[in-house]
Structure 1
Amino acid sequence: MKKSQLSDKQLEEILGQMPKIKDHRDSRDIYSNIAHRVEKRKKMPAWVVPGVALAAVLFLAFILSPGLLDVNDASQESMDRNSASEAKSSMEMDTAVRDDSASNSAAEKENTLMADSADGEEKANEFAAMDKGNPYEGLISLYPEEIDTETTELLSYAIPDQQVMTVVPVTVTTPKQEGKSWIDSYTEMMPKLKEEEWGLTDYYPMDASWNYDEGSKTLTMDVKPNHPFQYGSATNIIFVDSMTQNFSRAGIDKMVLTTESKPGIDLGNFGSMEELPINAETKKRRAYLFLTVEGIQNPYLVPTKEQYETVGDAFAQMRKGDEVGYLSPSLPDGFKFAKTELKDKVLEITLTDDTTLDESFLPHLEAILMTVSEFEYTGVRFTNANIDQIGPFNMNEVLSLPLAPNKKNID
């Protein structure tokens, strides 16, 4: 509806030009009529006024609703935008938190993996260092790669086993000292031996005095009259056997026996002996057999008393053990070779196609190497072996021969 453009004066002029209307009713009729209407208005229902008021409110709301709607829409839109912004911000924060968490988790995981890897690498390095330090550590015999013979004294002691049926050659080492003789090192080491711990008989030190003449290569052993080596045939035999084994490779030509500086020692069934024959040649060309002792991981390598013409003969004895069955075979039945031959002082052993070797062959391999060292060879090479490595030994290369059997640590 357009707003009127007429002024109040113009409205008055227009109304003045309209025809006059006269009411010909009697004044009493008019009054009665008005009174009737007033009375009627007073009798209107109570809900009419509130209803009219409600209708007016609704009418005004209808007129004003587009504006309100716009405001409400704008407000709602603003609220929606704020909500969306807050939601987006929350999502971004959640994402950032997740990203940070994932990043931290990944970093922690990487650090853990790096730590584990470092630990594993450190352990591997430790094992490698151990292997590099002495890969022959857990073996039976002593090998040239383990010691410097220029600075280290190698000492061998023949020790009776617990049943006093045989003697076991045990090897220990000690640093060489300038001005100190070999026999002094040898006798000073005797009390340090751990025979019982090694599953053998407590035999050293001997109640004797020793003297070595380097010029004549003569070793003198002086005992007291009540020495223990005169009682029992087994004791006599063990004494002679242990002394000849101890010194046969020590560069000694003769061993003189005395009792309180007088010639001779009473050795029971052997009678009185003034001298023991020390012949290095009698302690070569032997076969090495196994002596298994309860509680000791590796078997002991014990040489036979017999000598053999060839290494093949020695190998044959290694399959049998000793005559009384006390020492066990050091070669298994499954170990077969087609031939052995000498090439540049290296014994070449050609295995048969049905011979299968594994890590359990390691003690037997050491018995072979120790036996070969008794002959005129400098090493052993295996041909047609089904395995590349046994312990520290590369089966594709020439294997070095041991210096002495049954090494022990006295530290």
Structure 2
Amino acid sequence: MKKSEWSDNELEDLLRQMPKILDHRNPRDIYQNLSLKRRNIKLWLFPGIAAAAALLLFFILAPMLTDGTNLSYDKMKDEKSSVNQEMKMTARDFTNETENDEVATKGKANAETGQPSIMKAESIKTAIYEDELEKGTTVFTYWIPDPQVQILIPISIIAKNTQDQAWLPQYTKEMAILTEEEWGLSEFYPLNGTMKLDENTSSVMVDVPSNHQYGQGSTNEINFMNVVKKDISANSNLKKIKFSTNGVPGIELGNFGKLEEVDVVPDKRHAYLFYYPEGSDMPFLTPTNDTYNDIITAIEVMKSDQPLLGLKNSLQPLMPLHDVSVSDKTLFVSLKGNTSLHDNQQSSSSFEALLLTAKEFGLEKVVIKDSSIPFIGSFDLSKDIKVPIAPNLRITE
């Protein structure tokens, strides 16, 4: 079949024969719609409009051109795809540039009115605070090993209270939805066993199957014991844990022998350091394995790394600290002469590490004096700041 050739005059005659398109809307309505969405038309928008017009013209002429032409169906699809892609790119560019224009306009307006700009990055609080906790919710803390299984990192979640459940059944239910590996930690939960409350002895009964893995190696045994004790200590005031295997009292552990029960002793007086999961710039606030006699010693520990455990110093963004003292369950710290203090995420995480360390020693508030900046994130340094309820909030829903 011979390829037909259309001259310019023939195409013009063909277009004149096309039916007229009339818009029956009231001109006032058209103008009103345009006014509501009026924007400056960018020069780059015209190629997109032209592309759309070309696409419309193509489909109108296609039926007339198929007779006596070698324009194949595959070629029509290719041309349609090309035009669609161009239109998508144009629309995306328009959206991005419009958003950028709006952000720039708002930022300029804020600068003129003296209001904080929306361009300012907000520091994230990673701990949970009492005044921010909604009614009808409960905080649960789980201790999870790092990938090298050297330290335990406390992860806290917020769960809605259930009227028909005590804290322990809800606690064990929530552990099944933890996503440890997504957080850069070792998969550990749910526990391979059951946990029940013995109200007569105010203790927790932990029953494991006969094929449990917690006796396979020294590391597994120590981690299992530490996790269970820390979990109970962090979430209750219970003082004892009883173990059984398939309902028979006792659990066999190589390093401990046959163990039937252990006491739960509150585990406090640690210093909080930074632990960075692989590929993350946001640290977990992590207590040291060691404990310390007083908070002054713990604060000195916070200034140094512990490379063998993968822990980084947590006070560097706040340094130097002066006149550190304790009075009436309040930690007082002076930042006098600290001209390098910045309102950013690192400083916010550092301040939270200080708050959590204060909590470890039974303190309730921290007071910062002589700060060169009024705020660190949402922390108002001109006021007494209460210590958090729990560290490292993660969302599980």
Query: Considering the TM-score relative to the shorter chain, is it more than 0.5?
Result: yes
Aligned equivalents of 1:245 and 1:400: distance in 2?
A: 23
Residue in 2 that maps onto 1:340: 324
Q: Using a 3 Å threshold, how does the CA distance of structure 1 residues 405 and 136 change in structure 2: closer, same or farther?
A: farther
Q: CA deviation at 1:268?
A: 2.0
Letter of the aligned partner of 2:151 in structure 1?
Answer: T
Residue in 2 that maps onto 1:365: 351
CA RMSD of superposed structures (Å): 3.1
Pair 1:376 & 2:353 matched = no
Q: 2:142 aligns with which of 157, 160, 172?
A: 157
Aligned equivalents of 2:176 and 2:322: distance in 1?
A: 48
Pair 1:205 & 2:205 matched = no
Residue in 2 that maps onto 1:95: none
Q: Greater helix percent: which structure?
A: 1
| Identical positions, percent | 29
Aligned equivalents of 1:296 and 1:186: distance in 2?
A: 28
Q: 1:386 aligns with which of 362, 366, 372?
A: 372
Aligned equivalents of 2:195 and 2:123: distance in 1?
A: 33
Q: CA deviation at 1:333?
A: 7.8
Letter of the aligned partner of 1:404 in structure 2?
Answer: A
Q: CA deviation at 1:325?
A: 4.7
Q: Using a 3 Å threshold, how does the CA distance of structure 1 residues 333 and 273 change in structure 2: closer, same or farther?
A: same
Please say if residues 143 and 153 of structure 2, whose CA atoms lie closer than 8 Å, have aligned partners that are also in contact.
Answer: yes
Stretch of structure 1 that moved more, 265-274 or 252-261: 265-274
Aligned equivalents of 1:343 and 1:233: distance in 2?
A: 43
Residue in 1 that maps onto 2:84: none
Which protein has the larger Cα radius of gyration, Structure 1 or Structure 2? 1
Letter of the aligned partner of 2:137 in structure 1?
Answer: T
Letter of the aligned partner of 1:326 in structure 2?
Answer: G
Q: 2:211 aligns with which of 217, 226, 234?
A: 226
Please say if residues 318 and 351 of structure 2, whose CA atoms lie closer than 8 Å, have aligned partners that are also in contact.
Answer: no
SS of structure 2 residue aligned to 1:228? coil
Residue in 1 that maps onto 2:157: 172
Pair 1:312 & 2:278 matched = no
Q: Using a 3 Å threshold, how does the CA distance of structure 1 residues 111 and 120 change in structure 2: closer, same or farther?
A: farther
Aligned equivalents of 2:187 and 2:173: distance in 1?
A: 16
Aligned equivalents of 2:317 and 2:35: distance in 1?
A: 57
Letter of the aligned partner of 1:313 in structure 2?
Answer: T
Letter of the aligned partner of 2:283 in structure 1?
Answer: P
Q: CA deviation at 1:285?
A: 1.6
Residue in 2 that maps onto 1:257: 243
Residue in 2 that maps onto 1:183: 168
SS of structure 1 residue aligned to 2:174? helix
**What's the CA shift string for 1:133-192, capped at 9, x where partnerless?**
xx99932211112213x5211111111111111111110111111131111101111111
Q: Using a 3 Å threshold, how does the CA distance of structure 1 residues 248 and 361 change in structure 2: closer, same or farther?
A: same
Aligned equivalents of 2:210 and 2:287: distance in 1?
A: 32
Aligned equivalents of 2:246 and 2:35: distance in 1?
A: 79
Aligned equivalents of 2:37 and 2:122: distance in 1?
A: 38
Residue in 2 that maps onto 1:356: 340
Q: CA deviation at 1:276?
A: 2.4
Q: Using a 3 Å threshold, how does the CA distance of structure 1 residues 256 and 354 change in structure 2: closer, same or farther?
A: same
**What's the CA shift string for 1:80-135, capped at 9, x where partnerless?**
xxxxxxxxxxxxxxxxxxxxxxxx9xx9799769x969x959x99xxx9xx9xxx9
What TM-score do the two structures reach when normalised by structure 2? 0.67
SS of structure 2 residue aligned to 1:197? helix
Residue in 2 that maps onto 1:76: none
SS of structure 1 residue aligned to 2:187? coil
Aligned equivalents of 2:386 and 2:339: distance in 1?
A: 22
SS of structure 2 residue aligned to 1:402? coil
Q: CA deviation at 1:317?
A: 1.2
**What's the CA shift string for 1:275-332, capped at 9, x where partnerless?**
122112xx11211111111233421111123222211111011112338353221121
Please say if residues 198 and 296 of structure 1, whose CA atoms lie closer than 8 Å, have aligned partners that are also in contact.
Answer: no
Q: CA deviation at 1:381?
A: 0.9
Residue in 2 that maps onto 1:246: 231
Q: CA deviation at 1:229?
A: 0.3
Could you tell me which runs of 5 or more consecutive residues in structure 1 were left unpaired when the two chains were aligned: 1-103
Residue in 2 that maps onto 1:301: 285
Please say if residues 336 and 355 of structure 1, whose CA atoms lie closer than 8 Å, have aligned partners that are also in contact.
Answer: no
